[in-house]
A and B are shown apart, each in its own frame.
Chain A
Amino acid sequence: MSNTIFWAILLTCLLAMGAAIYYASKKRKFDERQEMIRLRSYKYGFSTMAILAVIILFLSEFIKIPIALAIIIPLVASLWVMCIYDILHSAYFGFNEKNTKVTNWLTIVWGLWIILDPITEGQAILSWEGIATLVVGLFLISISILSLYQLHREHKEDAAK
């Protein structure tokens, strides 16, 4: 019974989070240049995912790769490519978004928690599950650090003008 309640609460929280993210994304505005950049980044991200999926399919003939890792690596890599392209072309955040620094710092904390939580619980890092967790955590941290660096660069450009 307590298991059912736990999963019901978790599902409710996930649905609420999904709804909050969806409505927050509706308020973000991107101008035409940003939309164009984002469409291009979707293309590059999809290509990355397709290429990695083929590589993993080929490698699975020689080494046993867990299905979770085989799914996570192409997904995270494609997200990585998309996010990096968007960040470097100032199309990651909507032009009407404020508090982008706070969002980035919170994401860094989240990434660190994802990486450190299995370690503190004594789980092996070099297991396949550990590697998948590490990949997701590193993705969150790297994107946020790059975004903070880009914000800093743009701030310096503004000051110079």
Chain B
Amino acid sequence: MKNLKMKAARAGKDLSQQELADQIDVSRQTISAIEKGNYNPSINLCIKICQALDRTLDDLFWPDE
């Protein structure tokens, strides 16, 4: 399932995928895979993403009803 919330949060902070990847020490392809729903990140990576985007885990990773 695509993670549009994460994509929107990243766009809201005016960050490219590469810039976000550089901030949290992962590859750009991993950020792309997470946003497309092709990869489920570990909880540690989810926390790093939330910290980089100033959001909570619920905001970005809780599934929509």
Which residues of A line the B interface, CB within 8 A? 29, 31-34, 89-90, 95, 154, 157-158, 161
A89 to B30, CA, bound (A): 10
Task: List the A side residues contacting B21 at CB < 8 Å.
Answer: 95
Which residues of B line the A interface, CB within 8 A? 16-18, 21, 25-30, 32-33, 39, 41-42, 45
Contact assessment for A31 and B26 in the assembled complex, using a CB-CB cutoff below 8 Å: yes
**Known contacts A158-B18, A161-B17; A34/B28 CB under 8 A:** no
A110 to B16, CA, bound (A): 36
* Sample of 19 A–B contacts (CB below 8 Å): A29-B25, A31-B25, A31-B26, A31-B27, A31-B30, A32-B26, A32-B30, A32-B45, A33-B27, A33-B29, A33-B30, A33-B33, A34-B27, A34-B30, A89-B29, A90-B27, A95-B26, A158-B17, A161-B16
A31 to B25, CA, bound (A): 7
Task: List the A side residues contacting B42 at CB < 8 Å.
Answer: 32
Task: List the A side residues contacting B45 at CB < 8 Å.
Answer: 31-32
A133 to B29, CA, bound (A): 35
The minimal Cβ–Cβ distance linking B36 to chain A, given in whole angstroms, is 11
User: A89, A95, A157 — which one has the most chain B CB atoms within 10 A of its CB?
Assistant: A95
